[in-house]
């Protein structure tokens, strides 16, 4: 397995030699001008979220390094971070490419194919410090982009900018850069959801999905079209407005509210209230599906 690239190139040479002698010189020139680099094959994305309330919360991946000398040129992995600011309400921050740390090859061990394997990780606190940002400037819903760049003993470095499409997917799966969603530990208490259907026949497939430490509960306004008895008619209050209470216990580490749209999102509206009764936000009609910026976070943020 570790020689898959070499075997592939050898087959190309054999096929070219057998197909036409005139092409030999061209092939030689192509290979002579081609630089062999290095890749970091993704074995597993262990964690793809970071918690803004917990500085030690980690992004982590397991990778395998391969270079033209089957790992013998491997010196280190440099970890960089940049911010995709998707929450403009607290100001828009520029995307900065900042070095977090360098992980030496000595921290990797030989895998089953004789190639160096190890884990690459960085905490939210390390990313925040590298970017020079204060508490609250990185908010739930933002994306931290962690990039792992391979540094070779001869000084060459390979990362996302040098990765060709053939190695970023498939077997090689070497994107070098990884998105980590920023979440937070929510303030505990009862959050209220008020759900509205402005047509008056309820929701058809729309849901508000609440994730509390990995347990997801979905809330929606009942649909008139699913009713069998005591249905009233379109416009009856039971199909026009409803409420739900979401209790977030003290000590919850991860909490998110997300909206999934159904058949008629233009009829759907909803408002979410904080435990103190103040409004977290009014959404719709046709709210954007995805994570909702509604949580009061422990330690700052929304």
pLDDT of res. 296? 75
* 36-183 and 189-291, same CATH topology: yes
Q: Where do the domains of the chain lie? A: 1-34, 36-183, 189-291
pTM of the model: 0.68
276, 291, 297, 298: which is closest to 86 by C-alpha?
Answer: 291
The DSSP annotation for 73-101 comes to TEEEEEEEEEEE---GGG--PPP--EEEE
Q: What angle do CA 177, 180, 184 make, to 5 degrees?
A: 165
Q: How much helix, strand and coil, in percent to the nearest 5, is found in the chain?
A: 20, 40, 40
* CATH code given to domain 189-291: 2.60.40
Considering the domain delimited by 36-183, tell me its CATH architecture.
Sandwich (2.60)
- pLDDT, tens digit only, all 302 positions of the chain: 444 444 333 333 333 334 444 445 433 443 343 456 788 999 999 999 899 888 999 999 999 999 999 999 999 999 999 999 887 766 667 778 999 999 999 999 999 989 999 999 999 999 999 999 888 788 888 899 999 999 999 999 999 887 644 344 444 455 889 999 888 888 899 999 999 999 999 999 999 999 998 899 999 999 999 999 899 999 999 999 999 999 999 989 888 899 999 999 999 999 999 999 999 999 999 999 988 877 778 764 44
pLDDT of res. 18? 42
Q: How many angstroms separate the CA atoms of 42 and 120, rounded?
A: 10
pLDDT of res. 134? 87
31, 30, 60, 34: which is closest to 45 by C-alpha?
Answer: 60
pLDDT of res. 293? 76
pLDDT of res. 138? 86
């Amino acid at each position: 397995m570790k020689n898959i690239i070499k075997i592939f190139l050898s087959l190309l040479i054999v096929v070219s030699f057998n197909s036409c002698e005139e092409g030999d010189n061209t092939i030689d020139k192509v290979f002579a001008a081609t630089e062999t680099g290095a890749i970091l094959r993704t074995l597993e994305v262990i964690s793809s979220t970071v918690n803004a309330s917990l500085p030690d919360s980690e992004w982590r991946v397991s990778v395998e390094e391969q270079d033209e000398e089957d790992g013998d040129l491997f010196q280190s992995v440099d970890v960089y971070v940049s911010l995709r600011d998707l929450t403009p309400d607290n100001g828009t921050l520029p995307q900065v490419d900042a070095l977090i740390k360098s992980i030496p090859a000595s921290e990797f061990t030989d895998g089953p194919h004789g190639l160096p394997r190890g884990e690459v990780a960085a905490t939210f606190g390390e990313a925040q410090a590298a970017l020079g940002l204060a508490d609250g400037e990185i908010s739930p819903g933002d994306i931290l982009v962690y990039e792992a760049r391979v540094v070779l003993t001869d000084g060459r470095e390979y990362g996302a900018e040098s990765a060709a499409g053939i190695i970023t997917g498939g077997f090689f799966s070497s994107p070098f850069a990884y998105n980590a969603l920023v979440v937070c530990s929510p303030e505990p208490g009862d959050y209220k959801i008020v759900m509205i259907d402005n047509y008056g026949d309820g929701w058809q497939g729309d849901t508000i999905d609440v994730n509390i430490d990995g347990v997801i509960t979905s809330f929606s306004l009942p649909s008139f079209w699913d009713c069998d008895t005591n249905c009233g008619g379109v416009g009856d209050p039971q199909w026009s407005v409803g409420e739900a209470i979401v209790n977030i216990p003290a000590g919850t580490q991860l909490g998110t509210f997300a909206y999934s749209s159904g058949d008629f999102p233009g009829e759907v509206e909803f408002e979410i209230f904080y435990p103190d009764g103040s409004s977290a936000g009014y959404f719709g009609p046709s709210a954007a599906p995805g994570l909702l910026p509604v949580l009061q976070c422990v330690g700052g943020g929304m």
